[in-house]
């Protein structure tokens, strides 16, 4: 085939359900021979934060923010029916019931298929988090110009 078509996807949300939808699309597109770039910005950064250890940041406000907003794919909540964890726990059970992969498994699968992960440096600056806060799968740390350059070439561009 000719030059590969491209899907770009901005994950703005840190919600579990929205992240699942985003990774489903990314995996589907990569399976269909598309090049896929995912940009994680604002709350979406939570999805690519590592699950282990502490997230360090400077200053009382940023430390508080990162305490309350720890992030990590395993800590993501449903956007509704979280019910202090019960709803999210149930949804994960239901997914397991039908052998549907959990979010971190989908992320590993996307990575294996060559999906690019890009973290937004402006959000990182505002929230006071460094590169060490993220999973090793993040390919680059960049901003809006990088996104636009890719989106201009994109056949499909989504904001979730």
Partner 1 sequence: MKADATLDCIGLYCPMPIAHTAKKLKDLEVGQVLEILADDEGIKEDMPAWCRTTGNELLGIEEESGQYKVYVKKSHN
- A 10 A CB-CB count for 100 gives 13
- A 10 A CB-CB count for 26 gives 27
Give min distance, CB of 29 to partner 1, in A.
Answer: 9
Choosing from 54, 60, 99, 136, the residue that interacts with partner 1 (CB under 8 A) is: 99
- A 10 A CB-CB count for 149 gives 12
- Interacting residues of 116 by C-beta distance below 8 A, sequence separation 6+: 35, 36, 37, 38, 139, 140
Instruction: State how far the Cα of 103 lies from the Cα of 143, in Å rounded to an integer.
Output: 25
Q: Which is nearer to partner 1, 1 or 68 (CB)?
A: 1
- A 10 A CB-CB count for 145 gives 8
Using CB under 8 A as the criterion, what x/- string covers residues 33-72 for binding partner 1?
x---------------------------------------
Choosing from 4, 32, 67, 159, the residue that interacts with partner 1 (CB under 8 A) is: 32
Q: Select from 22-30, 41-49, 77-85, 136-144 the region that touches partner 1 (CB under 8 A).
A: 22-30
Q: Which is nearer to partner 1, 60 or 98 (CB)?
A: 98
Task: Summarize as ranges the residues that interact with partner 1 (CB under 8 A).
Answer: 1, 24-25, 27-28, 30-33, 98-101, 109, 113
């Amino acid at each position: 085939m000719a030059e590969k078509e491209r899907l770009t996807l901005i994950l703005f949300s840190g919600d579990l359900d929205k992240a699942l939808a985003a990774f489903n699309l990314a995996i589907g597109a990569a399976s269909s021979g598309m090049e896929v770039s995912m940009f994680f910005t604002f709350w979406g950064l939570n999805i690519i934060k590592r699950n282990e250890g502490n997230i360090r940041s400077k200053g009382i406000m940023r430390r508080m923010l990162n305490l309350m907003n720890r992030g990590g794919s395993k800590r993501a909540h449903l956007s509704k029916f979280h019910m202090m964890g019960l709803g999210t726990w149930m949804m994960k059970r239901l997914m397991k019931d039908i052998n549907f992969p959990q979010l971190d498994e989908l992320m590993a699968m996307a990575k294996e298929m060559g999906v690019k992960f890009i973290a937004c440096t402006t959000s990182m600056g505002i929230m006071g988090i460094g590169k060490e806060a993220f999973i090793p799968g993040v390919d680059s740390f960049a901003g809006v110009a990088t996104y636009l350059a890719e989106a201009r070439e994109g056949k499909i561009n989504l904001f979730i």
